[in-house]
């Protein structure tokens, strides 16, 4: 306990029993680890409690709101936001300890993120350095309210650190397909709320462009079979996001009278 620093780590979970021990072990130097679970059916909650985390179970509200809920429950001035499939390497842990133990010189800090897929560090197609803001002063930052692809926003100076985070993204294809289904649905709902439109043909075109950009223009081809798989999955995700948006557009098309006054939704 005496070696812990005044830092709160905010983590959200849902069935993360496989990933969580690695994540929690990497931030054992923190004074508080706040875990907000959204109803895990595995041992996630028990693992977090056994590691001394503060654990709360809350109804799922979307990635951004859920992470902000975890941040709001943190008690320290410095917050580190992590995903359960991420971890802090030892050299990065030493940098974080120094930051939070000294008088503040910035409102937040960003890290390059090393993404691993099927055992390979992915270095192309925008996967490196994949810089993210994760460490910030609680009174100077917050998590955006986005349902998906949320981020930390900081009011004040942000210093770019060179010490990385590590992210072990889902590698099992069956689980990856479930993730694509979930993320594409959230993306479609968000786009629909913004008033955006799509056709099945524009969805197909976006998928083709996403694959071509990732695999050829952004050199995903250099990441071997893993790079090809990721380019394909990005294209599939894009297709279903905009195909689902098209479906929402068709299901909720305004129904108008001959005088062009709309009376509701079909």
Residues 214 and 127 in one domain: no
Q: Which of 102, 135, 168 lies at the terminal end of a domain, its last residue?
A: 168
Q: Phi and psi dihedrals of 172, rounded to 5?
A: -80, 125
Query: What value does the mean pLDDT of the chain take?
Result: 95
Residues 153 and 184 in one domain: no
Alpha helices, H only, 44-156? 44-50, 63-72, 90-101
Q: Which domain holds residue 115?
A: 5-168
Q: Indicate if the pLDDT at residue 258 is higher than 90.
A: no
Residues 110 and 223 in one domain: no
**CB neighbour list of residue 168: distance below 8 Å, 6 or more residues apart:** 19, 22, 85, 86, 87, 116
Radius of gyration, alpha carbons of the chain: 21
In a domain, 226, yes or no: yes
- pTM above 0.85? yes
Residues 97 and 220 in one domain: no
Residues 243 and 125 in one domain: no
Residues 153 and 180 in one domain: no
Q: Indicate if the pLDDT at residue 114 is higher than 50.
A: yes
Q: Which of 114, 133, 168 lies at the terminal end of a domain, its last residue?
A: 168
**How many whole angstroms separate alpha carbon 220 and alpha carbon 227?**
5
Q: Which of 2-11, 48-57, 139-148, 249-258 has the lowest mean pLDDT?
A: 249-258
23-41 burial, b if ≥16 CB within 10 A, otherwise e?
bbebbebbbbbbbbbbebe
| Structure confidence by residue, pLDDT tens digits, 124-152 | 999 999 999 999 999 999 999 999 999 99
Residues 63 and 152 in one domain: yes
Residues 157 and 248 in one domain: no
In a domain, 220, yes or no: yes
| Structure confidence by residue, pLDDT tens digits, 11-48 | 999 999 999 999 999 999 999 999 999 999 999 999 99
Q: Which of 168, 183, 203 lies at the terminal end of a domain, its last residue?
A: 168
Residues 103 and 52 in one domain: yes
Number of domains in the chain: 2
In a domain, 263, yes or no: no
In a domain, 205, yes or no: yes
Residues 12 and 143 in one domain: yes
Residue 264's pLDDT is 42
Q: If you count DSSP H runs as helices and E runs as strands, how many of each does the chain have, helices first?
A: 7, 15
The pair of structure tokens assigned to 145 is: 């309210």
Domain CATH code at residue 55 = 3.90.550.10
Residues 83 and 208 in one domain: no
Q: Are 89 and 67 in contact (CB under 8 A)?
A: no
Residues 35 and 81 in one domain: yes
Bridge-based pairing of strands 254-256 and 262-265 is antiparallel
In a domain, 241, yes or no: yes
Confidence of residue 79 (pLDDT cuts 50, 70, 90): very high
Going through the chain in order, the beta strands assigned E by DSSP cover 5-13, 30-37, 54-57, 78-83, 86-87, 108-111, 113-117, 120-121, 132-137, 141-143, 152-154, 158-160, 165-168, 254-256, 262-265
Confidence of residue 253 (pLDDT cuts 50, 70, 90): confident
Q: Are 180 and 148 in contact (CB under 8 A)?
A: no
């Amino acid at each position: 306990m005496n070696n812990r620093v005044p830092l709160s780590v905010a983590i959200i979970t849902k069935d993360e029993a496989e990933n969580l021990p690695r994540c929690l072990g990497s931030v054992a130097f923190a004074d508080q680890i706040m875990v907000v679970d959204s109803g895990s059916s595995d041992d996630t909650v028990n693992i977090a409690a056994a590691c001394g985390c503060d654990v709360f179970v809350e109804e799922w509200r979307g990635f951004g709101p859920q992470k902000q809920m975890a941040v709001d429950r943190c008690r320290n001035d410095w917050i580190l936001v992590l995903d359960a499939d991420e971890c802090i390497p030892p050299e990065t842990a030493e940098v974080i300890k120094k930051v939070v133990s000294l008088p503040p010189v910035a409102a937040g800090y960003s890290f390059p993120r090393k993404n691993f897929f099927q055992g390979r560090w992915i270095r192309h197609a925008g996967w490196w350095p994949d810089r993210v803001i994760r460490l910030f002063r609680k009174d100077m930052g917050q998590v955006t309210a986005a349902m998906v692809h949320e981020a930390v926003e900081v009011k004040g100076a942000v210093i770019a650190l060179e010490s990385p985070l590590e992210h072990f993204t889902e590698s099992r294809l069956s689980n990856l397909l479930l993730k694509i289904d979930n993320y594409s649905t959230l993306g479609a709902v968000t786009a629909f709320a913004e008033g955006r439109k799509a056709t099945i043909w524009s969805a197909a075109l976006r998928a083709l462009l996403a694959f071509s950009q990732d695999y050829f223009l952004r050199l995903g081809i250099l990441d071997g079979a893993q790079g090809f798989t990721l380019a394909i999955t990005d294209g599939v995700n894009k297709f279903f996001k905009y195909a689902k948006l098209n479906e929402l557009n068709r299901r909720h098309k305004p129904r108008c009278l001959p005088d062009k006054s709309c009376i509701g939704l079909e």
